[in-house]
Copies of this chain bind each other. A is one copy, B any other.
Amino acid sequence: MEVDEVVCLPRLSRVAVCGGTHGNELSGVYLVRELLKVKKGVMEKEEEQEEEEPLSVLKVLSNPRAMQQCRRYVDTDLNRCFTHIVSLSPSGLTSGTVPYEMIRSRELNAMLGPKGRSGAVDLVCDLHNTTANMGLCLIAYSDCDWICLHIFRHLQRKMPDIPMRYIHFEVSNKESYSLDSVGKHGFAMEIGPQPHGVVRSNVYTAMKAGVQHMLDWVCFFNSGTLFEGESVDVFTMIKHIDYPRDSETRNITAAVHPHLQDRDFCPLHPEDPLFQTFSGETLRYKGNEPLYPFFINECAYYEKGIALSLARKRRNQL
């Protein structure tokens, strides 16, 4: 915006906080369980006193079967099941061999969506963990969603000790595949490093604070607060890099280089060390431009063929 202009947006009446979309990412699992215990607790009280129409916060445990087994998923990755076609089409979902997560994605779409329709919840915040050293990230499909970007700035201000980034996956709404794409607005809140199947108190506490500040912001917003324009750094995902692999077995033949491990969001320059083979050789980054690595050595992405992702950084004006 080049001139000062007031943008008015409709209030956010229904917000969903989802955990356990991946059953072994435990911060969200235990946080949503805790929120479900606090039925009418602190989170909604303050806001209810001030407003006539209370904010509805849906607390959802997305993949109970995977949680029960402490696995990412049972049959297929639930967080890849929410494309327009798959989540809405009833065809092919009647047979007994349908993956559990396909069925569960339809239930969640009915509960929080339908995706792309007026009945969908206003905002989905889906809670995730990563083994990568990424701090707290909001991951969204848009780099100009006013709601998501302002929530991000609010969290940055309220939690100055937590490294925080906004990541943008450039995918159209039709192609968007994750649970958070079911809401009118949505993002994944991704916090790491934490091993899957483990809950670390510091990560849990950061997520709890992040969710509380997000809900606080929604209350400010709904009460008619005017927010100043400002700038936000946005990391737009450009490409993924796979591990070097044996051409026959497809086993990986190298690990992320120790100079790169844990350096998420530190610029990676051409010829910087990328991998160290199991025999000790260093392999270097052969790109043409410096980019920002993230999801470095994420456990769940070995099977997806991703050793790290690379982003370009840009400053967005709100």
Contact = CB atoms under 8 A, between A and B. Distances in A.
A251 B195 contact: no
A255 B204 contact: yes
Contact of A258 (B70, B201, B279, B299): B201
Contact of A201 (B195, B202, B255): B255
Given A202-B261, A258-B202, A261-B202, A278 B195 contact: no
Contacts of A193: 195
Interface stretch (A29-37, A97-105, A150-158): A29-37
A222 interface: no
A144 to B, nearest CB: 35
Given A33-B251, A251-B33, A278 B204 contact: yes
A165 B58 CA distance: 48
Interface string A188-200: 0000010111111
A276 interface: yes
B255 A199 contact: yes
Interface in A264-307: 276, 278-279, 297, 299-300, 302-303
Nearest to A273: B201
A256 interface: yes
A302 B24 CA distance: 12
Given A30-B278, A204-B278, A278-B33, A197 B258 contact: no
Contact of A196 (B197, B200, B201, B258): B197
B299 A195 contact: yes
Contacts of A31: 278
Contacts of A256: 200-201
Interface in A177-214: 193, 195-202, 204-205
Nearest to A279: B34
Contacts of A255: 30, 199-201, 204
Contacts of A197: 131, 196, 299-300, 302
Contacts of A195: 131, 193, 195-196, 198, 299
A84 interface: no
Contacts of A313: none
A257 interface: yes
B261 A201 contact: yes
A198 B299 CA distance: 5
Interface of A: 30-31, 33-34, 70, 131, 193, 195-202, 204-205, 251-252, 255-258, 261, 276, 278-279, 297, 299-300, 302-303
29 contacts: A30-B255, A31-B278, A34-B278, A34-B279, A70-B302, A70-B303, A131-B195, A131-B198, A193-B195, A195-B196, A196-B196, A196-B197, A196-B299, A197-B302, A198-B297, A198-B299, A198-B302, A199-B252, A199-B255, A199-B297, A200-B255, A200-B256, A200-B297, A201-B256, A201-B257, A202-B258, A204-B255, A204-B278, A205-B276
